[in-house]
Structure 1
C-alpha cells in the first residue's frame, strides 16, 4: 500500500507528514470491481491524516513523499487483533460448555469465552512487543521523486 503525503515539519529525527491523497492500494477504488477502500488511511487510524514517521535523510519541510506499508501488513494486523480474539472467544466458550453440568452451562461458556479473550489480549500484547512483528508492520517514507510507478524493470 502506498499513499502520497507532504512533509509539514521536521523535529528531532521525526518527519510530520500530512496525507495529500486518500486513496491507496491498486488505484481502482472507484472503478467497477474496485474495493472503494482507503486502505492506507484505515491502517493509520480513522480520520487521521497527519502523523509522525522516522525522518529519512534528504527529506525536509514541504517535500512530497510516498508512505508505503508492506503488502499484507494491514491484513495480518487485523487478523491478529480481531480474528484471533474471535476464534479464541468462540473456542473458549465451546470448551467451557463441554465441561458444564446441566444447569450451569451458560456460566461455564461465559467463563471459557472470557478466558479466550484474555488469552487473545495477552497474545496481542506479546506480539506488540515483538521486534519481528513490528518490523513487518513498519511504514517506510521515501521522496516522491525516488518512487517509480509500475512494476520492477527487467
Structure 2
C-alpha cells in the first residue's frame, strides 16, 4: 500500500477532502539530477494537493490528520496500461509501416499507433476495475504537521 499523510479540509456526508503536501524522496535518490519528478518538485516545492476520499463509516473532523493509501498492484497495472500501451502501438505501427510501405508510411503509421494507444488507454480506463481511488487508512485527531 502506498501511503500519504494529509489533513482533512472538508467533510461531506460520505466523503472527505484531504489535502496533502507534496514531499519528495529526491534528496536521498541517486538519480536526482536527471529525474523529471525531482525537477517538478523543485519548481513547485510544498504545493498542496486535494483528494476526495470515501469515508466508509469512519468519522473525521476538520483538521484531523489522516493516512490515506492506494494499493501498489492497482497503481502498477494502471501505469503499465497508461504508459506501455501507446508506446507498444507506436513501435508496432512504425515497424509495420516500414516493412510494408516504406519510410513515410512508417512515420504515419507510428503516429497513428500512438494516437490509437491514447484512445485505447482512455477506453480501458473507463471500463477497468483498478482500485486507484485512495482509501482512508487511519485517523489521528489533532493538528496536522507536514513532514519535511
**TM-score (norm. length: structure 2):** 0.69
SS of corresponding position for 1:83:
helix
Structure 1's consecutive aligned runs of 4 or more residues displaced over 6 angstroms after TM superposition are 32-38
Greater relative contact order (Cα 8 A, min sep 6): structure 1 or 2? 2
Q: Hey, what does 2:51 align to over in structure 1?
A: 51
**TM-score (norm. length: structure 1):** 0.66
Distance 1:110 1:118 in 2: 12
Measured against aligned partners, the alpha-carbon deviations of 1:42-86 in whole angstroms (never above 9, x if no partner) come to: xxxxx5522222234312212211110111433333321222211
CA, structure 1 residues 142+60, in 2 after alignment: closer, same or farther (shift >3 Å)?
Answer: farther
Answer whether contact 2:22 2:48 (CA < 8 A) is retained: no
CA, structure 1 residues 32+8, in 2 after alignment: closer, same or farther (shift >3 Å)?
Answer: closer
Distance 1:30 1:117 in 2: 35
Q: How does 1:5-154 map to 2 (within 5 A)?
A: 5-20=6-21, 22=23, 30-31=27-28, 47=47, 49-57=49-57, 58-100=59-101, 105-133=102-130, 135=131, 137-145=132-140
Distance 2:49 2:68 in 1: 12
Alpha-carbon deviation of 1:92?
0.6
Structure with greater strand percent: 2
Aligned length: 128
CA, structure 1 residues 110+122, in 2 after alignment: closer, same or farther (shift >3 Å)?
Answer: same
Answer whether contact 1:65 1:142 (CA < 8 A) is retained: yes
Runs (5+) with no aligned partner, structure 2 = 42-46, 141-148
Runs (5+) with no aligned partner, structure 1 = 42-46, 146-154
Distance 1:34 1:13 in 2: 41
User: RMSD between aligned alpha carbons?
Assistant: 2.9
